[in-house]
Amino acid sequence: MQEILVNGKRLSVEGVDPQTPVLWVLRDHLGLVGTKFGCGKMQCGACTIHVDGVATRCCMLPLAAVEGKTLTTIEGLAEKGDHPLQQAWRAHDVPQCGYCQSGQIMSAAALLNQNRKPNDRQIDAAMAGNICRCGTYQRIQAAIKTAAESMGGAK
Partner 1 sequence: MSPELSRRSLLRGLVAGGGLVFAARLGTDRLWAQSAAEPTDWSPDIFVTIHPSGQITIVTHRSEMGTGVRSTLPMVLADELDADWSRVTLEQATGNPTYGDQNTDGSRSIVQFYQAMRRIGATARFQLERAAAEIWGVEQDQVRVSEHGVVGPGGKRLEYAELVEKARTYDKPRKSKLVYKTPEEWRYVGRETKTYDLDSLVTGRGIFGADVRVPGMLYAVIARPPVVGAAVKSVDDSVTRKIAGVVDVHTVAALSFPVVFQPLGGVAVLATSTWAAMQGRDALKIEWDLEPAGKNAQYDSAAYAEALHSSVSSPGKKVVDEGDIEATLAGAVRTFTADYYLPHLSHAPMEPPVALAIASENACEVWTCTQNPQAARDQVASALGLEPDQVTCHVTLLGGGFGRKSKPDYCAEAALLSRHTGKPVRVQWTREDDIRHDYYHSVCATHLEAAVDEANVMVGWLGRSACPTIMSTFQANQDRPTMEMSGGQGFHPPFAISNRRIEACEAPAHVRIGWLRSVANVFHAFSVCSFADEIAQGTGQDPVEFLTRSVNNPEHRLVKVAQLCAEQAGWGRQLPKGQAQGFAMHASFGSYVAVIATVELSKTGEISLPEVHIAIDCGLAVNPDRIRAQMEGSVVFGTSILRWGSITAKDGAIVEGNFDTYPVARMGHQPARTVVHIQPSDQKPGGVGEPGVPPVAPAIANAIARITGRRIRRLPLTGQDLSWS
Query: Rule CB under 8 A: which residues touch partner 1?
Result: 17, 20-21, 24, 27-29, 31, 33-41, 43-44, 46, 73-75, 81, 86, 89-90, 93-102, 105, 120, 123-125, 127-128, 130-141
> What minimum distance in Å lies between the beta carbon of 64 and partner 1?
13
CA atoms within 13 A on the CB side of 59: 15
> What minimum distance in Å lies between the beta carbon of 62 and partner 1?
10
Burial 72-109 (b: 16+ CB within 10 A, else e): bbbbbbeeeeebbbbbbbeebebbeeeebbbbbbbbbb
Cβ closest to partner 1, residue 3 vs residue 28? 28
> What minimum distance in Å lies between the beta carbon of 95 and partner 1?
4
Of 53, 72, 51, the residue nearest 8 (C-alpha): 72
Of 94, 106, 78, the residue nearest 140 (C-alpha): 94
User: Distance of CA 68 to CAs 2, 63, 153, Å?
Assistant: 11, 11, 32
> What minimum distance in Å lies between the beta carbon of 59 and partner 1?
10
Cβ closest to partner 1, residue 4 vs residue 127? 127
> What minimum distance in Å lies between the beta carbon of 65 and partner 1?
15
Cβ closest to partner 1, residue 31 vs residue 68? 31
Cβ closest to partner 1, residue 10 vs residue 133? 133
Cβ closest to partner 1, residue 15 vs residue 68? 15
Q: Residues 56, 65, 80, 34: is their CA dihedral positive or negative? A: positive
